[in-house]
Structures are given as structure tokens and as C-alpha cells.
Amino acid sequence: MAHLLQIDASPRGERSHSRRMTREFVEQWQQHHPNDTIAYRDVGRNPIPHLDEDWIAAAFSPPEQHTPQLQKALRLSDQLVDEFLAADIYVIGVPMYNFSVPSGFKAYIDQIVRIGRTVNIESSDAGKVYKPLVLGKKMYIIEALGDSGLQPGGRYETMNHLDPYLITVFGFMGITDITFIHVENDEYGENTLAESIANARQKITELVAA
């Protein structure tokens, strides 16, 4: 039995492709794995606060030195990290905004990258080294894009700071088993969008069945 965390990052509701695809993924997952448990976090429509001065002071100082004010500053982050660490599998729906993540999803990531909880920094003979703490997890990322040609080999490949960023930041915490699913061409609609949605659906069905 596994525990799955579904995260949606689009501010859009029914119009959102990434949101619709995570829903379909999880529905199919539940049919194949009826005993698995599901948690849900919607950072697109329930925004996560950006980091502030108290958060930074608290996150980079020993907990025994924390005043009640600093303890309060980390409370939500602690909850989000607990929720994140409890999962074995992640299904994340995220749009491309200006070639990267929406700011709301970046705020979420900033809250869960925590020294001592999701990553450690240790000394070695070669100097400081990063030690990821989120190990043995599987992640599926369903992206929605307005355009196409942003994947490897595409004409806009070098403008894609979304996939490389997600690989870097989740890999930094230890999650290296990441499968991407893309819905492209939202801006063009009609056949190109319909074809992309059909491809994404087929990939989801294959992945869940596997």
C-alpha cells in the first residue's frame, strides 16, 4: 500500500489541462491501486505565502533558539514538509508560466526545501556537500503549455526553464525518478491541442497500468 500526494498548481479551474490530467491520473490510479491512500494539495487556488524575514531567520537557525515568533513563522512550512515526506508517490500538475513555474508553485517549493528536513548540507574532505533526504520516491509531473517545441530537440528548447528546474530542485531533495507528461498547444487549440491531450491521456493510461 502506497501513499500518493496530488498537487495542482494551476490557478485555473475547469479550464486547466494540468488539473484535469492529474484528476484523471489519480482516478485511474485508484482503480488500479484501491488500497492506496491519496492526499491533495491545491497551491494554484489556495496560494501558499511567500517566504518572509522571520521564515528565513527561523529556517537557518537551530530550533532551540527559536522564539515563539520564529516557531510560528515555520508552522505552515513544517506542515507542508510533513505532508510531502509522508508520500511515496507524487502526481503534480503544473503550467508553464513565462518559461518556468507559476510563482505560486515556486512559493510552495520554497516552503518545502528545508535544511535538516528535506536536504542536509554536510562537511566532507572536498568541502560542503548536499545530502538529499527525500529518498525512494516516485514523481509524475504533468505540465501544460501554451506552445510546443520546448522539449529536447524542439526549436524553443533553450527557453524551457520548467523541466530543467523541476529536475534540479526535486533532485536536490533526492527525488530523481521523475516522469514527465506534457499537454502542449493550449494557445492554438483545435487539432494540435486535441492531439496533445490524447497523447497525454494515452501516456497516463500506460504509466498507471505499468
Ligand X SMILES: Cc1cc2nc3c(=O)[nH]c(=O)nc-3n(C[C@H](O)[C@H](O)[C@H](O)COP(=O)(O)O)c2cc1C
**Residue 137 is a binding residue for ligand X (CB under 6 A):** no
Q: Judged by CB under 6 A, which of 58, 96, 112, 141 binds ligand X? A: 96
Assess 16 for contact with ligand X (CB under 6 A): yes
Grid coordinates of 158: 533553450
User: Which residue in the block uniquely carries the three cell numbers 513555474?
Assistant: 101
Q: Which three cell numbers stand for residue 102?
A: 507559476
- Residue 10 annotated in ligand binding: yes
Counting contacts by CB under 6 A, is residue 103 touching ligand X? no
Q: Which residues pair with 127 in a beta bridge?
A: 124
**Quick count: other Cβ atoms within 10 Å of Cβ 56?**
12
The letter for the amino acid at 75 is R
Sketch the per residue contact string, 139 through 168, with ligand X: x for CB under 6 A, - otherwise.
-----xxxx---------------------
Instruction: Give the binding range for ligand X (CB under 6 A) out of 94-102, 108-116, 122-130, 171-179.
Output: 94-102
Among 12, 33, 45, 138, binds ligand X (CB under 6 A): 12
β-sheet bridge partners, residue 90? 5, 139
Q: In the structure grid, which three cell numbers stand for residue 166, read together?
A: 523541476
- Annotated binding site for FMN, which residues? 10, 16-18, 96-99
